[in-house]
Structure 1
């Protein structure tokens, strides 16, 4: 990537940033970002949370499975 390409890329990004409303930028950022636990450790924390939630609901009498 040459210096000229790099400058043109930066200018395009800056123009996009200035033209898009703040709320839209925040919405895009929030929709693309994943939780830090998934980002650092993958699906393991998510699966453990699902398991714990299921056990809690079972112990509280949520659904009666036989």
Structure 2
């Protein structure tokens, strides 16, 4: 990426930032967020959490 391309990209981002209302930017930021565990490890943490919760519920129903 050349310096000119980099400057153009920064200016485009700056113009977008200044034209978009604050509330809209906040909404977009909240929509795009995903848990860091999902981003780094995919669905493995979710499946492990579901398995542990299932075991806990089985143990509670036994007693």
Q: TM-score, normalised by structure 2?
A: 0.71
- C-alpha separation in 2, matches of 1:23 and 1:60: 45
Count of residue pairs brought into register by the alignment:
61
| CA positional deviation for 1:14 | 0.4
Cα RMSD, aligned residues only: 1.8
Give unpaired runs (5+ residues) of structure 1: 62-66
Matched residue, 1:47 = 47
- C-alpha separation in 2, matches of 1:50 and 1:18: 43
Give unpaired runs (5+ residues) of structure 2: none
The C-alpha deviation readout for 1:3-59, integer Å capped at 9, x for no partner, is 222211111100111111222212212222210111222221110111122223333
- C-alpha separation in 2, matches of 1:55 and 1:21: 47
